[in-house]
Structure 1
Amino acid sequence: MKSKPFLFYPVVLFLFIFVIDKIFLLPIFHGEFLQAGNSVFYFQRKVLKDRLLKDPDLKEKKLTLVFGDSRSYPFSEIGIPEPYKKNWTLYNFSSPQGIPMNSYIQFQEILESGVTPDFVILSLSPEAFDDSKGFILSPFLRMGCDSNCIGTVWEDVPFKEKWDYLLDRIFVIRSIEFNLSLFTSRLKQGKLKEYKSSHNKEFQLINYTKGEYLMYGVQSNPIEKIKNDTIRIGNLYMRSYNIGSSQFPYVEKILKITKEKKIRTLVLWPKVFPEYYSYYEKFHIKEVWWDKVETLAKQYDAKTLNWNAPNTCDLFNDASHQSAFCFVDQMKEIWINYAEK
């Protein structure tokens, strides 16, 4: 029988890739290894928690915590209206695709560290409740959930995401989503130091204040551009939309805590571009999702606010995000009607 060594080539190749992959187990890839976007935000939120715990203003001022996704980035301490501003401080822990699981884990860690807020703004988006689209849970599981966190949320993670998580443990490069083009660009420009927060301008911008991100500060983008973005995200998020079961338990856990600790709480549905809202209408989001959220909030004595209503601010950066200019009046509304009332 003739020898057929080529039959072993796939095995050798697999073993080679497997060994090379283990380079990404080195600590350098699992601490401050800032690429762009999601990884910067999730790392900054850990830094922000440490800053919060050391803030001397907590002894003199009331504390607001904001949890949610990118639609609540612009909530900022500078937006608190007079005369209330002198009595309040605000930390914004909103994260990219910040699902309720993520909000609960962040909230619980802050409470366990000995800090209890006076007011919580919990911003929710219906897209976060669709378990059929794994890319919604992926950022949190990969960047915002350590081993202790996994033990807490594992039973509520959908099967497909459990499988992906296990693959991330086997092939480590998956878990860090290594961006080769960004690495090549930084290498060519001599900017590898940007993987560290001390040299990363995106991190420094986010970390300059208390977590808010005002990139959505344009007063108005061209309507045609926003309409094109509506089609893009409509196809991405709202194609065959299905309400799942993984996130509602964490909304309820947050509300249960705020009721027990007598923390004023506002559950908020941020506004989206009206043509994108038509996708919500197609899938009866208000009836099958928001009504359930309102019922939960009422059960735990929290207030609710739906900004997808007539006569609310109609300035948009894109189909999914209002302009930061909207938040001046919106913050005033929240403080007068919910924080101080």
Structure 2
Amino acid sequence: MMKKIYIYYPILFLGFVFCLDKVFTLEYFQKNFIQAGNTVYYTQRKSLFEKLIRDKDLEVKSLALAFGDSRAYPYSSMGIEQKLQKDWVLYNFSGPQAVPAYGLYWFEKIIKQGLKPKLVFYVVSPEGFDDTKGIFYDPFLKYGADDDFLLKYMDQISFEDRKKLFLDRLFAVRRINPDLKLFIKRFQEKKLSEYDPAFNTDYMVLNLKRGEQFAYTTFVNDPDRLEKDAVRIRNLYLSTFILGTTQFFFVEQFLKLAKENDVKVYLIWPKVYETYRKRYYELEMEKSWWPKIENLAKRYSAVPGGSKYTNFLRFILRRVPSIDYVFFRIYEIDDRRLLRF
């Protein structure tokens, strides 16, 4: 009998791995284990939400919100004309590769909390509407969505993504996705403290204000670098493109919620570098994707803004209920960031 105990080794090993995996369910790994890249933003937005709830400025100032992908990073109250800044607070819940559903996720939570913004900038990029690229699941569903959201919109999640989400819940390490190379690098550089949000540079930058990020903002562009980035990112996201239906559903839910709560929405197709924008025209985005966005905006009384109108807060807002005309200064944004999705 003892000679055959080896047949139990695989079972014992799996049991050990399963128990070891449970370590990653500890609160430390859920809230205080900061790595790099996308996860920094998706983790920080949770603390940003708590900051919004506690913000005493909202007792005397009007609330504006910005949602979208990385092209919405620079939206900030700093873009409001100086004399009007004292009247506004702008929170930025954008995220890298964030699909429109991510904006709805936070918008629902904010409304449910009893906080009603006067206006919202909802930045949507065509790339997020390709259901075949997998960016609905990773990063948003994997890192940004909670169980309540998943259950509520389960019928909008593909079977393949549901399987991945099931495995994420079964094995916590999948959601944490520890980066061994990053660990070695931080260990060698004696920067293990950067796993703590209090000492993580990227996290601290996002916490400086209200979620905005200006790291890619510049007054001088590098044309050669922009050209190379345009080709690289175009090949990554737009070499093939299939316009899906999933994210249109979430855009409509967002606009419907805004209309129900009398929130003015600016639905924005952000500006990108010219070489990259040509690919939009080759795919006839202005004839296929954008008209659908405009129709939704029209149906729910939102204000659509095409790429030809947008250059970071380059808007003269029309009259908002109980608010006079609001003017935003024009900023020159590094198109390299606007290329990135």
How far apart, in 1, do the equivalents of 2:139 and 2:283 lie? 25
Indicate if the aligned counterparts of 2:120 and 2:266 stay in contact, CA closer than 8 A: yes
Deviation of the 1:82 alpha carbon: 3.7
Name the residue aligned to 2:207. Answer: 207
Partner residue, 1:321: none
Q: Deviations over 1:67-98 (max 9, x none)?
A: 11110100111110143222211111111112
- Residue of structure 2 equivalent to 1:216: 216
Counterpart Cα distance in 2 of 1:244 and 1:5: 53
Are positions 1:92 and 2:92 aligned together? Answer: yes
Alpha-carbon distance in 2 for matches of 1:241, 1:169 = 31
Mapped partners of 1:92, 1:98: distance in 2: 13
User: Would you say 1:248 and 2:224 are equivalent positions?
Assistant: no
Q: Is 1:133 aligned to 2:133, yes or no?
A: yes
Instruction: Name the CA shift for 1:27/1:83 in 2 (closer, same or farther; >3 Å).
Output: closer
User: Per-residue deviation at 1:187?
Assistant: 2.5
User: Which secondary structure does the structure 2 equivalent of 1:265 belong to?
Assistant: strand
Say if 1:335 and 1:43 are closer, same or farther in 2 by CA, change over 3 A: same
1:80 corresponds to: 80
Query: Structure 1 residues 218-227 or 48-57, which shifts more?
Result: 218-227
The reply to whether residue 108 of structure 1 matches residue 104 of structure 2 is: no
Residue 282 in structure 1 maps to residue 282 in structure 2:
yes
Distance in structure 1 (CA, Å) of the matches to 2:15 and 2:59: 56
Mapped partners of 1:240, 1:7: distance in 2 = 49
Provide the identity percentage: 37
Partners of 2:319 and 2:97 in 1: how far apart? 28
One-letter amino acid matched to 1:286: E
Query: Following the alignment from structure 2 to structure 1, what is the Cα–Cα distance between the partners of residues 220 and 10?
Result: 54
How far does residue 18 in structure 1 lie from its aligned partner after superposition? 4.2
CA separation of 1:4 and 1:272: change in aligned 2, threshold 3 A: farther
Could you tell me how far 1:15 is from its partner in structure 2? 5.4
Counterparts of 1:293-332 in structure 2 under 5 Å? Answer: 293-307=293-307, 309=308, 326-327=311-312, 330-331=313-314
How far apart in 2 are the matches of 1:161 and 1:258? Answer: 28
**Could you tell me the TM-score, scaled by structure 1's length?**
0.86
Aligned ranges for residues 1-341 of structure 1 at < 5 Å?
17-307=17-307, 309=308, 326-327=311-312, 330-331=313-314, 333-335=315-317, 340-341=324-325
Q: Distance in 2 between matches of 1:226 and 1:340?
A: 39
What RMSD in Å do the two structures reach over aligned CA positions?
2.4
Decide whether the 8 Å contact of 2:101 with 2:247 is kept in 1.
Answer: yes
Counterpart secondary structure, 1:89: strand
Deviation at 1:335, TM superposition (A): 4.1
Q: TM-score normalised to the size of structure 2?
A: 0.86
Code of the residue aligned with 1:204 in structure 2: it is M
Q: Gapped runs of 5+ residues in structure 1?
A: 314-325
CA contact (8 A) 2:99 2:135 kept: no
Q: Say if 2:128 and 2:135, in contact at 8 Å, map to a contact too.
A: no
CA distance in 2, matches of 1:9, 1:284: 58
Structure 2 CA distance for aligned equivalents of residues 53 and 14 of structure 1: 43
CA contact (8 A) 1:41 1:95 kept: yes
Q: How much does 1:66 deviate?
A: 0.6
* 1:119 maps to amino acid: L
